[in-house]
Amino acid sequence: MTTATRYGDAAAPASRARLPDVAGVAERAGVPLAWESYGGGTPALVLMPTWSIVPSRIWKAQVPYLARHFRVVTFDGRGSGASGRPSGAAAYTNEEYAADTVAVMDAAGIDRAVLVSLSCGAAWSVHVAADHPDRVLGLFAIAPSCGFSSVADPERDHVPWDEPLPGAVGWEKYNKHHWLGGGYDDFLHFFFGRMFHEPHSTKQLEDAVAWGRQVAPQTLVDVTAGRLGCDGAVCSDIEARCAQLTVPVTVLHGSEDQVRGLAYGERLAELTGGSLVVVEGAGHGPLLRDPVLVNHELRAFAERFAPVVPRRSRTRAVGRRRRALYISSPIGLGHARRDVAVAGELRRLHPDLEVDWLAQDPVTRVLAAHGERIHPASRHLASESGHVEQESGEHDLHAFHALRRMDEILVNNFMVFDELMEREDFDLVIGDEAWDVDHFLHENPHLKRTPYAWFTDFVGWLPMPDGGEEEAVLTADLNAEMIEHRARFRALRDRSIFVGNPDDVVPDRFGPGLPAIRDWTEQEFDFSGYVTGFDPTAYDVDELRARLGHRPDEKVCVVTVGGSGVGLPLLRRVLDAVPLARRAVPGLRFVVVAGPRIDPRSLPAVDGAEVHGYLPDLTEHLAACDVALTQGGLTTCMELTALRKPFVYVPLQHHFEQAFHVRRRLEGYRAGTCLDYAGASEPEVLAETLVRELGRDVDYRAVETGGAARAARMLAELV
């Protein structure tokens, strides 16, 4: 029995870079098998299930990239994910998994496919290729864990599977009595610690342990007994099956695999006459720990079976104009406004320079308003803003954890960038907080193809006080990885530009035993000063107010929450406070800007408040106002500081950048009044704070001008 659902173009939910085009359930021998299909290219790739301790989501870093070139099908193996969980070891033999694979291929309408496997999934791929050679084009096996009797495993061979082992240590935890006797969670941490032993693998470990907890210990006992030939299951001769294969085989194995050593990969390649790719220093999970490398190898293997090799063309360097690729962070709009200003100054220095933008909503709205050219490859980017919105609560965004949980999206977006650099020629790449590009270039420095400049306005991941020791460890680990990247590959960035001044950098340390953030930043970065993108002295406020329809004698409050779409709760609270504020200041006019990702119609109508969506000329409204209220984002706060406007800012809860980095900078400029969200929850407090701010004489430190020109001069040297 087969059922299938076809999906439309709905935006992917948080933590998913791409939704399936079709999802279905194939039933075989009474066991439902949940499968998903992505893309439509040739050949088809089936990403095989692996040990039931994880579901098919373990392929999350491969699916979006491969699906742009091939058809990709994944399925949860029996005993995992959304598939059925039959009882008994006999239900989980290699033959059962192989038959399930054929059933899923039939349900998905796939005649022949490349089978891609991880760990014990390699044995199931071998069975399919041996028993159904007409259905398989080739096998790509990552870290194969096949039961080769000819390969010795000194760490594990002496450990009994089905005998009680009190006080189990090491691989003695791979034991059914340990799992069923309360040691299952202990085993998960041990096993995945061996699978992802590489430094800075905290996210991979976190994901894997969470997946493992979705499987009952008894189910994993049955699955494992089936593979081992215990409890009534019959274990087939995998080596004999390997000898039957006639299709091409590639094996990719880490030299430091602590689950199944390199000898297993070498033996599979030997038995099948296949090729072997050894990843030096890698462990048992390179598909998550080294996704870019694995994606490249998978694509190269699959293209051997493509019907036509795509035509490529290149232009001689001397025969083309100079080109820059600009990547502006889509989380908010501030990056886009300053980047447009920098690009304009850069063109003044190099009039022949063409600038293409790799960008997504809401940045594309700013770029379109300025007539900038958005590269067509941008359509393949997964939505970072959408992810942030899904991660947010009521004026609450745990920015650090949201970024960690964006790993799948970041891999996808880097692969889009990487493909673009492979196909087209650029003379300069500029990344403004393009975290994906910076991280994966440092992980894969050989992929740097042109001069590269990095922008940021903060340095250092900082834990929130209520995150406890665990969050402090995680932020320090990410900081340490960044420091190691920069020390090892100093030449990778041709420019590191801090948008601001040394005094804007927080005084904290990166973590225990790590450098002070300011000291390290001063060594690593050039400082451009702040980039406003406009001249605050150029506005004729009286003329501007008249053009915007404000009377000379009325007071105007602008309320804006940025471009990420997480500000809806704050806007509702402000609108609750409007009547109270207008009672204190009769005629006070509110201009409420919902931004590009909040529907103005979702907000209530309130006398004295006009609600707008995205305003490309927001800076003009800020220049014309008497007071403002904003979320704690850096750009709007610094624009108000440069314009010398009194304002209240309400930082997002658990947003470390707004809580620490932005607040330090604003305090240095003596700018704004900070109100926590708890205070903003009371309309009386919010109204009173706004009215008090309205009457305040500002004494802000002047915001320097010329930041965009200084940054452009630094970039111009690279073109």
Average pLDDT score over residue span 340-367: 95
Is 631's pLDDT higher than 50?
A: yes
Per-residue pLDDT for 592 more than 50? yes
Q: What is the pLDDT of residues 240-279, one digit of tens each?
A: 999 999 999 999 999 999 999 999 999 999 999 999 999 9
Report the range of poorest mean pLDDT among 180-194, 298-312, 570-584. Answer: 298-312
> What is the reported pLDDT for 10?
37
The pLDDT tens digits for 61-81 are: 999 999 999 999 999 999 999
Q: Where in the chain are the domains?
A: 38-159+212-305, 319-532+709-716, 541-694
Evaluate if residue 597 carries a pLDDT over 90: no
| Alpha helices (H) along 88-183 | 94-108, 121-131, 176-178
What is the b/e burial string over 435-454, where b = at least 16 CB atoms within 10 angstroms of the residue's CB?
A: bbbbbbbbbbeebbebbbbb
From edge to edge, which strands make up the β-sheet containing 556-560? 609-612, 589-593, 556-560, 627-631, 647-650, 673-674
The 3-class SS string of 574-617 reads HHHHHHHHHHHCCCCEEEEECCCCCCHHHCCCCCCEEEECCCCC
Measured CA distances, 215 to 35, 78, 79 (Å): 18, 11, 8
Taking the C-alpha atoms of residue 413 and residue 696, their distance in angstroms, rounded to an integer, is 45
What's the mean per-residue pLDDT of the chain? 93
User: How far apart are alpha carbons 352 and 716 in whole angstroms?
Assistant: 12
Burial class (CB in 10 A: 0-12, 13-18, 19+), 349: middle
What mean pLDDT comes out for the span 14-37?
A: 93
At residue 399, does pLDDT exceed 70?
A: yes
Write out the two tokens for 515. Answer: 């450098």
Q: Which fold has domain 38-159+212-305?
A: Rossmann fold (3.40.50)
Residue 468 neighbours by CB distance under 10 Å: 10
* pLDDT score of 157: 86
* Model pLDDT, residue 11: 37
- Residue 131 DSSP SS3: helix
SS3 label, residue 634: helix
Give residues with Cβ within 8 angstroms of 361, minimum separation 6.
330, 383, 385, 596, 597
Q: Nearest 5°: CA angle at 377, between 373 and 383?
A: 100
Cβ count near 693 (within 10 Å): 21
Least confident of 452-461, 560-569, 619-628: 560-569
Distance between CA 213 and CA 189 in Å, rounded? Answer: 11
**Number of Cβ atoms within 10 Å of the Cβ of 687:** 22
Taking only the tens place, the pLDDT of each residue in 26-44 is 999 999 999 999 999 999 9
Q: Are 363 and 424 in contact (CB under 8 A)?
A: no
Q: 389-413 burial string, b = 16+ CB within 10 Å, else e?
A: bbbbeebebbbbbbbbbbbbbbbbb
The helix or strand, by DSSP H or E, that contains position 328, with its residue range, turns out to be strand 323-328
Please identify, in words, the CATH class of the domain defined by 319-532+709-716.
Answer: alpha beta
Nearest 5°: the CA angle 105, 111, 114 is: 75
Render the burial of 44-80: b for 16+ CB within 10 Å, e for the rest: bbbbbbbbbbbbbbbbbbbbbbbbbbbbbbbbbbbbb
Asked whether residue 533 carries a pLDDT value surpassing 90, the answer given is no
Q: With bands split at pLDDT 50, 70 and 90, how would you rate the model's confidence at 658?
A: very high
Q: How many helices (H) and strands (E) does the chain have?
A: 28, 22
Superfamily of domain 541-694, CATH level 4: Glycogen Phosphorylase B; (3.40.50.2000)
* Distance between CA atoms of residues 282 and 162, nearest Å: 31
The Cα–Cα gap between 479 and 510 comes to: 6
Beta strand spans in 133-289 (E)? 136-142, 249-254, 275-279
Question: What is d(CA 59, CA 41) in angstroms, rounded to the nearest whole number?
Answer: 18
The pLDDT > 90 percentage for the chain reads 84
Q: Fill in the amino acid letter for 230.
A: C
Selection from 111, 29, 123, 23 nearest residue 78 by Cα: 29
User: For the chain, what percent of residues have pLDDT higher than 70?
Assistant: 97
Locus of tokens 């745990």: 398
CA gap 291, 300 in Å, rounded: 14
717, pLDDT greater than 50: yes
Output the pLDDT for position 3.
Answer: 54
Q: Do the domains spanning 319-532+709-716 and 541-694 agree at the CATH topology level?
A: yes
Instruction: Quote the Cα angle for 707-534-431, to 5°.
Output: 50
Contact 250, 275 (CB under 8 A): yes
The larger pLDDT score, comparing residue 367 to residue 9, is at 367
Retrieve residue 100's tokens: 């399930």
Q: What is the pLDDT of residue 429?
A: 98
Report the predicted TM-score, pTM, of the whole model to 2 decimal places.
0.95
Give 226's DSSP letter: H
